[in-house]
Amino acid sequence: DGGITQSPKYLFRKEGQNVTLSCEQNLNHDAMYWYRQDPGQGLRLIYYSQIVNDFQKGDIAEGYSVSREKKESFPLTVTSAQKNPTAFYLCASSLTGTTGELFFGEGSRLTVL
Amino acid sequence: QKEVEQNSGPLSVPEGAIASLNCTYSDRVSQSFFWYRQYSGKSPELIMSIYSNGDKEDGRFTAQLNKASQYVSLLIRDSQPSDSATYLCAVNEGALEAGNNRKLIWGLGTSLAVNP
C-alpha cells in the first residue's frame, strides 16, 4: 500500500541534543512538507520541498534543517537552536507543490526533557 | 496577514443530526479550499476539496463554497459518533494561475462531538 511513513512515533531527548525525524513516501509525490502542531495552535509550516534537491523555509524554520536527496525521503533535523522543540511533528506529501491535497504521515511526537 | 477562521467549538450534535461547520478566509484571490479531519492524537486526513462556487457532495459530506462572501462550509449528514473529531479548514493562498507553490493557510479547527 502507498503511504507516508514517519519514524519514530515517539522520541524523548535531552535538551541540547539534535534529533532527526524520518519521513519516507512511496506515493511518487513531488512535494513534501514538514509541519509542527502544538496544543491549541494550528498547523505551522516548517519546511517544504517541491522537487528533489530543492527546499524552502516555511513560517517557522529557525532551529530546523532538512534535506531532499531522494524523491521518497525528506528528513527533518531538530537542532539544539530550536527553543521549544517539544511538539507533534507531521510530514506530508502532495502530487505537486501547487495543490492543497496533502497526505499526512502518522506523526512523530518529540518530547525534550 | 492572510487568515482562516473557524469556531473552535466544541460543536455538539446528536447522532443522526446534521453537523454544520463553517470557515471564513481573508485572501480574496484564493481558489482552492480543503477540509481535513483530525482525530485526537492522530494526523489530519483530507475529506473534501472544493474549487468552484456551490455545493460538492461526497457520501454524507457536502462542502459549500461562496467566494463572494469568502465562506466555505462542511455539512455532515446523519452524523455518527465516529465523526467526532476536529475539522480543519485549509485554503491555498493566491490564485491558481500563479504556478509556484502556494502555501496552505490553516484554521485552528472546530471540535465536533456527536452524542449517541
Per-residue pLDDT reduced to its tens digit, A65-102? 999 999 999 999 999 989 899 999 999 999 988 888 99
Pairing of strands B4-5, B54-58: unpaired
Q: Looking at residue B38, what is its pLDDT?
A: 97
Q: Looking at residue B98, what is its pLDDT?
A: 52
The verdict on a CB contact (< 8 Å) between A98 and B99 is yes
The verdict on a CB contact (< 8 Å) between B101 and A42 is no
Q: Looking at residue B97, what is its pLDDT?
A: 56
* Contact (Cβ atoms closer than 8 angstroms) between residue A74 and residue A91: yes
pLDDT(A43) > 90: yes
Mean pLDDT on B43-69: 96
pLDDT(A1) > 80: no
Question: A41 CB near a chain B CB, below 8 Å?
Answer: yes
Length of chain B in terms of residues written = 116
Tell me the three cell numbers of residue A68: 531532499
B97–chain A nearest CA distance, Å: 10
pLDDT(B31) > 80: yes
**How far from the centroid of its chain's Cα atoms is residue B56's Cα?**
12
Question: A27 CB near a chain B CB, below 8 Å?
Answer: no
Question: A45 CB near a chain B CB, below 8 Å?
Answer: yes
* Contact (Cβ atoms closer than 8 angstroms) between residue B101 and residue A98: yes
- Provide the CB-side half-sphere exposure for B67 (13 A, CA): 14
Q: Looking at residue B51, what is its pLDDT?
A: 93
pLDDT(B102) > 80: no
Q: Looking at residue A98, what is its pLDDT?
A: 80
Question: Which chain A residues are within 8 Å of B94, Cβ to Cβ?
Answer: none
For residue A7, list its beta bridge partners. Answer: A22
